[in-house]
Amino acid sequence: MEPNRNDNNNKKPEGGDQPKGRMATALIITLVIVLLFSWIFNSISQSQYTQTTYTEFREAMEAGQLAEVELKYDRILYMTKEEAAKPASMQKACYTGMPSGGDILALANELVDMGVEKVNYEIVEDNSMIMMILSYAVMIGGLFLVMNMITKRMGSADGMMGGFGKSKAKVYMEKSTGVTFKDVAGQDEAKESLQEIIDFLHNPQKYTAIGAKLPKGALLVGSPGTGKTLLAKAVAGEANVPFFSISGSDFVEMFVGMGASRVRDLFQQAAKVAPCIIFIDEIDAVGRSRDTRYGNNSEQEQTLNQLLNEIDGFEPSKGIVCLAATNRPEILDKALLRPGRFDRRIIVDRPNLQGRLDTLKVHTRKIKLSEDVDLRKIAQATAGAVGADLANLVNEAALRAVRQGRKAVNQEDLLVSFETVIAGTEKKNTVLTDMEKRLVAYHEVGHALVAALEKHSQPVSKITIVPHTSGALGYTMQMPEEEKFLSTADELRTELRTLVGGRAAEQVVFGIQTTGAANDIQRATSLARNMVTQYGMSDKFGLMSTATVEHQYLEGQAYMDCSQETAAEVDREVMIILDAAYAQAKQLLTENRALLDEISEYLLVKETITGDELMAYVNAARKPELEAPAEETE
Ligand code: ADP
Ligand code: ZN
C-alpha cells in the first residue's frame, strides 16, 4: 500500500556540517527518488482503489457506513462496512484526496466519535509540505538553503539521505480492540497484574478519592511472540477504552527533535480521548540507556527525555495508561523504570504445558476439528514454542486440511504442521542411496535405543528416516511426559549419551563417521559446556561459574567470564565429559547390538516408527533376563 515509504534507519552519529558538493549531489539524488516514488505511487498504489470525491467520503462517514479509515497526509483510504463484510479477496477500498490544510488529528477524532472501528493515521511532520513543494520542483534553491540551515542548526545526527519521504510514524488507533483476556491463553500472572490497571481505567475516581497514586505505566517483558501486544490489546478491550499503538523504532528519526515532537503529538492525541491505553512496542529503540555502552545519539536522547516528560506530565486521574513491550529490559534507561513511570514489570513467559494447551484451544476455537484430535499431545510435543508459533501451527494444519479437500482438521494435520514448523516440510524427492539410508536408520535408532535403555531419559515418541527440507535426513523425537523445570545431573548425562548415540551407532556398526552427526555434536557440546560453566556439574570446577548469561529473554547467549587459562581448562573439561558420554553410548550399543540391528532393519522398511513400536522391541529383548515384565520407561 505504501511504495513511497523509505525505511532506512541509518543512525550513524555524526556531527554538523557536510561539504557543499556532497549535499548538492545528495539533493539531486533525493529529487530523483522523490519523483520516482511519486510516479510509482500514482501508477501502482492508487490503481488498487476506487477513487471517490471527498464529499462522497463525508457522506459515507455521516451515514455511519465506514468500517476502516486510514489517514495519510495527502489522501484518505477507507472501506465501507458493506465491503468489509465481504471475503478479503473481494473487498474494494476507496481513496480520496485529503483537502489541503485538512487537520488529520481533528478528522481522526471526528471519525472515532462517529464510531468508526479502526482509524489509522500518520503523524505528519512539516517536511511533508517540503515534500510536496519538492515534487512540484519549485523553490529548489530555497529549499536547499532551508535544509542546510536546519541540518546545521539542529546538529543533524544523520546524513541527508534518510530524511525525505520518511516523515511519518504510524499510529494505530482502535476505538475498541475487540480482544479480551479470553483471547489470551495462559499468562495468568500477567493478567492478574494487569487487572488492577483495568479496574483503574474503569473507575479512576475510586482510586484518586483515597489519594492512591496509580501506575502510569507497565513494562511487558518477554520473548518475541509470547503475546505482549495481545495482552496490551486485551487490557484495552477489557477496560473498553481506545488503544493507541506505535513502535519505538518509529520514533527514531533523522532530525533531532522530530521524534520528540511525535511523542508530544501522541500524548496530546491520547489525552483527547482518555481514558485510553498507549502501547509502545519495542521501547528499547527509544528507551535504551543513555550511557554510551550500547551506543546512541542525541536524537534518541531527546526523544527519551520527551517521553519521560510526557509520562511525568499527565494527570493520573485522566486515565491514560502507558504499556510498553521489550525483550531486552536490561538495556533500558534507569530513568524509565523509576517509580511513577514504567515501574511495574510484568513478565510474559513462554507458555508451559497447560499454557500451550490453552493457546491451542484458543486458536482452534473457530476451526473445525475432527474427533481424533488430541490437543494435549500437540501441547506436549511443543515445549519451548511461544504463542505465535502455536497460532502458526494451527493455521498450517487448517491449510493442509483445505489442500486435501477435507472439511475438518485432524490430528495428522496438526502433527504434520508441527513437523513443518520444527523440521520443514517433508521432502519427498530427496533420494538417498541404500547405504546412506542404512546409515541414517542406524544413526536414528542409535539415539532412540540409548534413550530407551537409559533410566533418566525422556520417552521416544517417533523415529523417522523421511528427509525434511530443514536438512535433517531423519530424526528422533522425544516427548516429555510432563513439563519439567529442573534437570538433574543424571538426566543431563543421559541426554548427552542420547545425543552422541547417533554417532556411536555409526561407529559401532559401520566403523565410519558421517557429517550427519554435526547438529548432535553441537548440541552435546553446548550442553556439556553449560554443565561445566553454569550448572556446577563438573568435577574440576565444582561450583565455580565461568560464564555469564546475557539477554536472558532473547536467545540467552552465555559469555565466558574467566581468565584465558581457565577457559582453556574449561574446554578440556568439556572434552572429557563428551568423551565419557561417547564411550558409554558405544558400550551400551555394543552390548545391545542385536536389538540395534533388529530395530534398524524394521525402521528401514517402515521409514517411520512410533515410540510404542520401539518399546515393544526393547521390552521383548528384556523379558528373558528379567522375571517381571519390564515397566514402561518413564
Ligand atoms: P509479542 O508482542 O510478544 O511479540 P504478539 O502479541 O504480537 O507477541 O503475538 C503474536 C500472535 O501470537 C498473537 O496475535 C496471537 O495470535 C498469538 N499469541 C501469542 N501469545 C498468545 C497467547 N498467550 N494466547 C493466544 N494467542 C497468543
Ligand atoms: Zn543425530
Per the model's pLDDT, the better-predicted residue between 218 and 426 turns out to be 218
228 touches ligand 1 (CB under 6 Å): yes
In angstroms, what is the span from residue 499 Cα to ligand 2's centroid? 7
Chain centroid to Cα 201, Å, comes to 28
Calculate how far, in angstroms, residue 391's C-alpha sits from the geometric centre of ligand 1. Answer: 8
Q: Global pTM?
A: 0.61
Residue of higher predicted confidence among 36 and 562: 562
Neighbours of ion ligand 2 (CB under 5 A): 502, 520
Q: Which of 122, 125, 301, 444 is catalytic?
A: 444
The pLDDT assigned to 507 comes to 95
Selection from 55-64, 198-207, 227-236, 427-436 with the highest mean pLDDT: 227-236
451 by DSSP, 3-state: which?
Answer: helix
Atom 25 of ligand 1 has which residue's CA nearest to it?
A: 184
Best mutation site among 191, 226, 348 for ligand 1, i.e. most ligand atoms within 8 A of its Cβ?
A: 226
Ligand 1: nearest atom to the Cα of 325: 2
Lowest-pLDDT choice from 69-83, 170-184, 417-431:
417-431
Contacts of 522 by beta carbon, 8 Å cutoff, 6+ apart: none
Provide the Cα torsion 227, 231, 237, 241; round to 10°.
-130
Q: Which ligand is nearest to the CA of 503?
A: 2
Active site residue 444: yes
Q: Which ligand is nearest to the CA of 326?
A: 1
Shortest-distance ligand to the CA of residue 474: 2
Q: Where are the strands (E) in 233-329, listed by range? A: 243-247, 276-281, 320-326
Q: What is the pLDDT of residue 55?
A: 86
pLDDT given for residue 584 in this prediction? 96
> Using CA atoms, how far apart are residues 214 and 314, in angstroms rounded to an integer?
12
C-alpha 172 to ligand 2 mean position (Å):
47
Any idea which of 398-412, 431-445, 573-587 has the lowest mean pLDDT?
431-445
Tens-digit pLDDT profile for residues 460-516 = 888 988 776 566 778 888 877 666 678 899 999 999 999 999 999 999 999 999 998
Testing ligand 1's pocket by substitution, the residue of 230, 247, 323 carrying the most ligand atoms inside 8 A of its CB is 230
Whether 224 is in the pocket of ligand 1, judged by its Cβ within 6 Å, is yes
The neighbour count for residue 148, using CB atoms within 10 Å, is 16
Percent of the chain residues topping a pLDDT of 70: 77
User: Among candidates 153, 156, 162, which has minimal Cα distance to 30?
Assistant: 162
- The one-letter amino acid code at 447 reads H
Decide whether any atom of ligand 1 lies within 6 Å of the 326 Cβ. Answer: no
- Topology (CATH) of 48-124: 3.30.720
Q: Is 226 in the pocket of ligand 1 (CB under 6 A)?
A: yes
Residue 225 Cβ inside 6 Å of ligand 1? The answer reads yes
Q: Is 391 in the pocket of ligand 1 (CB under 6 A)?
A: yes
Q: State the pLDDT at residue 498.
A: 95
> Dihedrals φ, ψ of 77, to 5°?
-105, 135
Q: How far is the CA of 382 from the centre of ligand 1 (A)?
A: 16
Q: Residue 466 C-alpha to ligand 2 middle, in angstroms?
A: 13
- Residue 229 CB less than 6 A away from ligand 1: yes
The dihedral through the CA atoms of 419, 420, 423, 427 has a sign that is: positive
Q: Under CATH, to which class is 434-626 assigned?
A: mainly alpha
The Å distance, Cα 496 to ligand 2 centre, comes to: 12
Ligand 1 and 245: CB distance under 6 A: no
217-221 vs 75-80, strand pairing mode: unpaired
CATH level 2 (architecture), domain 353-422:
Orthogonal Bundle (1.10)
* Pairing state between β 217-221 and 320-326: parallel
Residue 146: the pLDDT is 61
**Domain chopping of the chain, boundaries:** 48-124, 170-347, 353-422, 434-626
What mean pLDDT do residues 163-177 have?
61
- Fold of the 170-347 domain: Rossmann fold (3.40.50)
Is the beta carbon of 353 within 6 A of some atom in ligand 1?
Answer: no
